[in-house]
Amino acid sequence: MVNLVQRVEDTWRTCSKSDSSGASNSGCESSKESSRSSTPVLDTDRTDRLRDKMRHRTESGDHWFSLEFFPPRTASGAVNLISRFDRMGSGGPLFIDVTWHPAGDPGSDKETSSMMIASTAVNYCGLESILHLTCCNQTKEKITGYLSKAKRLGLKNIMALRGDPMGADWEEEEAGFNYATDLVKHIRCEFDDYFDICVAGYPTGHPEAESYDEDLRHLKEKVDAGADFIITQLFFRADTFLKFVRDCRAIGITCPILPGIFPIQGYQSLRQLVKLSKLEVPEEIMQVIEPIKDNDAAIRNYGIEQAVSMCRVLLESGEVPGLHFYTLNREVATMEVLRQLGLWIEDPRRTLPWAVSAHPKRKVEDVRPIFWASRPKSYIYRTQDWDDFPNGRWGNSSSPAFGELNDYYLFYLKSKSSKDALLKMWGEELTSEQSVYEVFTSYITAQPNVAGHKVMCLPWNDDPLAPETNLLKDELDKVNRRGVLTINSQPSINGKPSSDPIVGWGPPGGYVFQKAYLEFFTSSENVTALLKVLKKYEPRVNYHIVNVHGQNTTNAHDMQPNAVTWGIFPGREIVQPTVVDPVSFLYWKDEAFALWIEQWAKLYEDESPSRMIIKYIHDNYFLVNLVDNDFPLDNCLWQVIDDMFELLDNPPEEQPAEALRQDCVDAQIW
Amino acid sequence: MVNLVQRVEDTWRTCSKSDSSGASNSGCESSKESSRSSTPVLDTDRTDRLRDKMRHRTESGDHWFSLEFFPPRTASGAVNLISRFDRMGSGGPLFIDVTWHPAGDPGSDKETSSMMIASTAVNYCGLESILHLTCCNQTKEKITGYLSKAKRLGLKNIMALRGDPMGADWEEEEAGFNYATDLVKHIRCEFDDYFDICVAGYPTGHPEAESYDEDLRHLKEKVDAGADFIITQLFFRADTFLKFVRDCRAIGITCPILPGIFPIQGYQSLRQLVKLSKLEVPEEIMQVIEPIKDNDAAIRNYGIEQAVSMCRVLLESGEVPGLHFYTLNREVATMEVLRQLGLWIEDPRRTLPWAVSAHPKRKVEDVRPIFWASRPKSYIYRTQDWDDFPNGRWGNSSSPAFGELNDYYLFYLKSKSSKDALLKMWGEELTSEQSVYEVFTSYITAQPNVAGHKVMCLPWNDDPLAPETNLLKDELDKVNRRGVLTINSQPSINGKPSSDPIVGWGPPGGYVFQKAYLEFFTSSENVTALLKVLKKYEPRVNYHIVNVHGQNTTNAHDMQPNAVTWGIFPGREIVQPTVVDPVSFLYWKDEAFALWIEQWAKLYEDESPSRMIIKYIHDNYFLVNLVDNDFPLDNCLWQVIDDMFELLDNPPEEQPAEALRQDCVDAQIW
């Protein structure tokens, strides 16, 4: 736990002016001139470069880990890899890196390219990322083009490699890229200090180097040319690495050196890797593996055990600030090693209630509309062209336009489930609106649907219920059964500690607050009754009610945003990361209604009854959001819904249906 | 109370798009295009023009009042009038107006000029104000000059008058200003719609008009030329006014017509006014007054009674949205009439915890440093050249420089008390630092000092303790006795309703919060112990400690502001109107230390012991501010001070005084 607390405090670090006693000292004049950041969450961890983060973590003795992935071969592989980024990102890696595959069109816009995968990790998964880049056989123009593109996409870190020469007849070119050093120099020459640069180290010497010492000298050249840190090739004995570090230090290499850890995951993959890297597997390892080479599970267990014990030695040596894992795009072994080492953060503390994007332009972003809470990648995509992000308060932005979302096919926006799986979850055949209600109920309760399948996602929620939403499960179940089809909600929170495991976020010692929120689709009949009921709840409840045609009813003040999540922290301004914003709600409305058709109706044949049912809902239901402003009291939104049902079940005699309809005419709803 | 609630709700009015059901209706397209305000407190009452405020209040049936003053003759009269503005402003007038005295250099920068008095009312007292302007015998250039200056000073409303011709030989000038109509046209021509324009109406006809009807036609011309509303000359019978309104309406004058109310306050002033205005006092009034003409109190009581009963008739007529009072720069009669009518707001609800300036440029201002809480006029003066005001959050501003405060002589910054009164309160002769402590204690406890005089103000506080601070009286008393000389403090508040009579502010239905704050001067010995103690309170307590030379010690994050007052309201973003801002604290420090010398030491002879004592404090004491970040818990700041005294009283044996001093050397304080 010490590490965890340290980490969160780092994230909200005090300025470097602070001396070790926690008191900073400055004369009047210099203080007057000091600049300060423009936003309360603009803290060092969010603005620091990777090399600075490493330095902070190293100085505080807070060990970290990082993860290496290679680009996928197929489009569905890309969807899977992005899901893996999200899952493995939740464990708290300091960074990930994506290898460069010269044969795979690595700099292109293809969804399987190294460039796109790294960009997606940064922009959509919020992961600090390093893009590998090999220079062998490339022109300067081509390399500069790749680097410019990487910069444009928000990538800030490059692993500069020579790469394997294509073919055996490779020769040095004059003024060309012959060694990684040339690439490091080129990056520094063309892009100054923009990129953090990583280079490769070879604990047993590069296979092509004349000698170990010769290779060390090459490494020194790479560092002198401007590299910021070193990641090593894999190795099998802690001593190999520790000797390497000593040798590096001896010749004046002072930058961080991260050991590359390769948990053995199978006999074949080990053989292949060894062949490619021209490494020798130590005899003591081969002796264990050979006898069990056909038992994958046994080998993997051994690999985990071997990696854990080696990592322990490394960490205890005091020479190793962080561990770099060659994941081979697999999760289990690496996660298990990290768990056993205590480096995997099961419940990472959040800087904000939503995952902060790692794109430099978005680093100051500290407020988002609540609507996209379950579709953050879509929000990021639709706002990617914004020049500024709402800086502190949403209202400061001049409500820039949202991009259209017609690109449901984009791999980072696609559902993780196949059409087949979706049909099983959402129904091979729908018979009525009621059968749609049942899908929602199954999702909420995590109970199998009538066909016996668990509903793991909905068009508006690609993941099972959040722990926070789970707190509301019983109420959600009850209202979904009756056609209040909830797609987003949060409970009210009146000052829980910022360290709360479910609703907490931000630095330690603070308090977080929420207003209760509920968002749902429901029929126009329900809306008619609801509007009647809502009059009783003025001004406690704010509402926005809109249908697909944009008929919009609200009691919001002057189109101002309503803060629904905020936090108070020691020595800071108020942070209000989530708002119900009337303007963006009308953009979200377009997306939320379109998802009925794009993700659900299109599963079925044209003109099929199932499709017509979804289409009917799309055309006729309203999207409603409700905020209970009275956060210190019990959430009244369930009472609002109860009152609506009560009114529908027992319409007052003097208020027959026709009169209700008249009220709506008065309210200019129809 | 209905009026009060209505008024506050008006202040935070929903947009005019709202229909009467409270629901606004807009198609998707128009909503997408809608602009919105950039700050959560930017509400209609703060941004509306005077004519719009009138309209809103008229529509909601919420009666208002306004107050007319004339410029003072002397500088001390100006100080008194500004104090009167503050006192009478607290009763909630919709506006005040300041008459134009052609003989008194009315457009000059003299502290007694009409222009300066009106400007001070707007800028320093936060009062919506109308400046009178007479055009008779003036050139267009001169008038345009006055109007430009008024605009530059933040004045937005003009009462356009002809004024009395100088001398009997006045003749119409061609293309000159012959009538108020000419002035109205000129304002509209030169300043378009910038100013709201008021004109005078004469319920019994202008004395120089050929006839009542002729005068009505002139009034119609003035309105047609662009006047927004009418204030009438005084009258003595409700019927006179009501007939006048009917006659105005009959010829097509539709703008608001405000009755000018003159509570009779004395026999001589009545005679003089009647002579000037060429009005006749009705027989029934003269019959009452003549017999008591030497009994001022009796006449004033009659005047109040007469005004109240006439106003009641006016208000009940339904023709009168608001009452305009000719105060003659006196308070008692007008306030009594307003109290009896129920229009005087004893405890006006505050839009923000501090009085909002009425200058158009400052209307969006919604955050201030806490330091100037008791010296708001000084804060306004020192920031008058800022182009932008921190918009929502202090940190958004690029910390513009504060103006120097060398201008203690400015009438709106001067103490209300004379040198003589100050000496009585603060001591004719000081004998020790202790005798200074006693002055602070007397101020806190509201008990007389050793010489038997109540201490009504201190250099940092021109008024007695605020009700909120009174809650802390016992603790403040205790610490001031021992030389913790408090000049600013607030208790912690954990979510009190925004309607709370003592700490509430903002629109109804919200909750307000505060972090406990304490600011004081204290000796360097105390600071040495305090710093020792504060280590125990990290990170709960934030501190800034500075001496006159700018030696500054703080544990603040990265020079970021700490929000210490904030509010959560239905349908709004978070409002955080008060911050402890490290940057502006160093500007405040200059002012706070200078006040020892400027306001206190200078009361005494050069080199006198009294002066030397104050000088010693100025040179050697520290200014300390403390924030308890843990607002939901009991305020720990008193415990901090207790711990400091405890440490001073019982220094631990292993921590002799020299060791304490060493700690401070470590903390780089010395």
pLDDT digits (tens, 9 = 90+) for B588-623: 999 999 999 999 999 999 999 999 999 999 999 999
A277: confidence class by pLDDT, cuts 50, 70, 90 = confident
Judged by CB atoms closer than 8 Å, whether chains meet at B556 and A631 is answered as: no
Q: State the pLDDT at residue A402.
A: 72
Residue B652 to residue B96: CA distance in whole angstroms: 62
Q: State the pLDDT at residue A465.
A: 81
Q: State the pLDDT at residue A5.
A: 37
The CA distances from residue B194 to B51, B188, B228, in Å, are 12, 8, 12
CB atoms within 10 A of CB A604: 21
Write out chain B residues lying below 8 Å of A555, CB-based: 14, 18, 22-24, 571
Strands (E), A188-236: 196-201, 229-234
CB–CB of B310/B238 below 8 Å?
yes
Residue A606 to residue A614: CA distance in whole angstroms: 12
Judged by CB atoms closer than 8 Å, whether chains meet at A631 and B568 is answered as: yes
Q: Which residues pair with B562 in a beta bridge?
A: B580
CB atoms within 10 A of CB A396: 18
Q: State the pLDDT at residue B399.
A: 52
Residue A475 to residue B407: CA distance in whole angstroms: 64
The stretch A207-236 carries a mean pLDDT of 93
Least confident of A152-161, A372-381, B15-24, B355-364: B15-24
Residue A54 to residue A198: CA distance in whole angstroms: 12
Write out chain A residues lying below 8 Å of B573, CB-based: 393-395, 560-563, 576, 579
Residue positions counted in chain B: 670
Start-to-end CA distance of chain B, whole Å, equals: 57
CB–CB of B31/B384 below 8 Å?
no
- Amino acid code (one letter) for B453: H
Least confident of B2-11, B76-85, B472-481, B570-579: B2-11
Residue A470 to residue B200: CA distance in whole angstroms: 67
Judged by CB atoms closer than 8 Å, whether chains meet at B573 and A550 is answered as: no
Give the distance from residue B31's alpha carbon to the nearest chain A alpha carbon, in angstroms. 7
Confidence check: pLDDT of B34 > 80 = no
Which of A292-296, A380-384, A591-595, B11-15 is predicted most confidently? A591-595
Q: State the pLDDT at residue B2.
A: 35
Q: How many CB pairs under 8 A join A and B?
A: 260
CB–CB of A20/B563 below 8 Å?
no
Confidence check: pLDDT of A198 > 60 = yes
3-state secondary structure of B501: coil
Confidence check: pLDDT of A592 > 90 = yes
CB atoms within 10 A of CB B38: 14
Write out chain B residues lying below 8 Å of A39, CB-based: 393, 395-396
Judged by CB atoms closer than 8 Å, whether chains meet at B555 and A583 is answered as: no
The stretch B12-21 carries a mean pLDDT of 36
Q: State the pLDDT at residue B405.
A: 73
Q: State the pLDDT at residue B413.
A: 80
CB–CB of B490/B469 below 8 Å?
yes
Select from A20, A573, A623 the residue whose CB has the most chain B CBs within 10 Å, as the one to mutate to test that interface.
A573
Give the distance from residue B525's alpha carbon to the nearest chain A alpha carbon, in angstroms. 18
List active site positions of B.
68
DSSP secondary structure code for residue B133 in this structure: E
Minimal-distance CA residue of chain B relative to A13: B557
Q: State the pLDDT at residue A45.
A: 55
Give the distance from residue A562's alpha carbon to the nearest chain B alpha carbon, in angstroms. 4
Sheet holding B622-628, edge to edge: A24-26, B552-554, B541-547, B622-628, B516-522, B485-490
Q: State the pLDDT at residue A157.
A: 97
Start-to-end CA distance of chain A, whole Å, equals: 57
Residue B407 to residue B142: CA distance in whole angstroms: 29
Structure tokens at A167: 């073919």
Least confident of A255-259, B505-509, B653-657: B653-657
Does B296 or B467 have the greater pLDDT score? B296
Judged by CB atoms closer than 8 Å, whether chains meet at B559 and A396 is answered as: no
Judged by CB atoms closer than 8 Å, whether chains meet at A22 and B555 is answered as: yes
Task: Identify which of A609, A559, A604 has the alpha carbon closest to the alpha carbon of residue A581.
Answer: A559
Q: State the pLDDT at residue B396.
A: 41
Give the distance from residue B398's alpha carbon to the nearest chain A alpha carbon, in angstroms. 8
List active site positions of A.
68
Q: State the pLDDT at residue B347.
A: 66
HSE-CB of A556 using CA atoms within 13 angstroms: 28
The stretch B244-254 carries a mean pLDDT of 96
Centroid of chain to Cα B144:
28
Select from B370, B572, B589, B624 the residue whose CB has the most chain A CBs within 10 Å, as the one to mutate to test that interface.
B572
The stretch A511-538 carries a mean pLDDT of 96
Residue A626 to residue A643: CA distance in whole angstroms: 14
Peptide bond before residue A539 is cis, with ω within 30 degrees of 0? yes
Confidence check: pLDDT of B421 > 80 = yes
Q: Output the average pLDDT for chain B.
A: 85
Confidence check: pLDDT of B670 > 80 = no
Confidence check: pLDDT of B11 > 60 = no
> CB-CB: which of B35, B399, B570 is closest to A539?
B570
Q: State the pLDDT at residue A655.
A: 53
Q: Which single residue is written with the structure tokens 């309209």?
A: B55
Judged by CB atoms closer than 8 Å, whether chains meet at A572 and B563 is answered as: yes
Phi/psi of residue B517, nearest 5 degrees? -135, 145
Contacts of B311 (CB under 8 A, 6+ apart): B261, B323, B337, B341
Q: Output the average pLDDT for chain A.
A: 85
Q: What is the pLDDT of residues B542-599, one digit of tens each?
A: 999 999 999 999 998 777 889 999 999 999 989 999 999 888 898 899 999 999 999 9
The stretch A76-91 carries a mean pLDDT of 90
Minimal-distance CA residue of chain A relative to B628: A570
The stretch B375-392 carries a mean pLDDT of 76
Write out chain A residues lying below 8 Å of B550, CB-based: 27-29, 31
The CA distances from residue B41 to A567, B94, B434, B506, B552, in Å, are 19, 19, 45, 9, 34
Give the distance from residue B75's alpha carbon to the nearest chain A alpha carbon, in angstroms. 36
The CA distances from residue A569 to A229, A497, A502, B306, B539, in Å, are 35, 10, 18, 58, 10
3-state secondary structure of A474: helix
Q: State the pLDDT at residue B661.
A: 53
Q: What percent of chain B has pLDDT over 70?
A: 86
Q: State the pLDDT at residue A33.
A: 31
Residue B185 to residue B189: CA distance in whole angstroms: 6
Write out chain A residues lying below 8 Å of B34, CB-based: 559, 583
Task: Identify which of B569, B155, B581 has the alpha carbon closest to the alpha carbon of residue B357.
Answer: B155
Query: What is the rounded radius of gyration, in angstroms, for the C-alpha atoms of chain A?
Result: 28
Does A36 or B332 have the greater pLDDT score? B332
Q: State the pLDDT at residue A388.
A: 72
A656: confidence class by pLDDT, cuts 50, 70, 90 = low
Judged by CB atoms closer than 8 Å, whether chains meet at A667 and B539 is answered as: no
Question: Parallel, antiparallel, or unpaired: how do β-strands A322-326 and A552-554 relate?
Answer: unpaired
3-state secondary structure of B298: helix
Q: What is the pLDDT of residues A395-445, one digit of tens each?
A: 444 455 777 777 777 777 878 888 999 999 999 999 999 999 999 999 999
**ipTM of the assembly?**
0.80
Q: State the pLDDT at residue A566.
A: 96
Q: What is the pLDDT of residues B266-320, one digit of tens each?
A: 888 888 888 877 888 888 898 999 899 889 899 999 999 999 999 999 999 999 9
Residue A366 to residue B218: CA distance in whole angstroms: 59
∠ CA B558-B559-B560, rounded to 5°: 90
Q: State the pLDDT at residue A394.
A: 47
Residue B272 to residue B356: CA distance in whole angstroms: 38
Minimal-distance CA residue of chain A relative to B627: A571
H helix runs in A535-576, sequence order: none
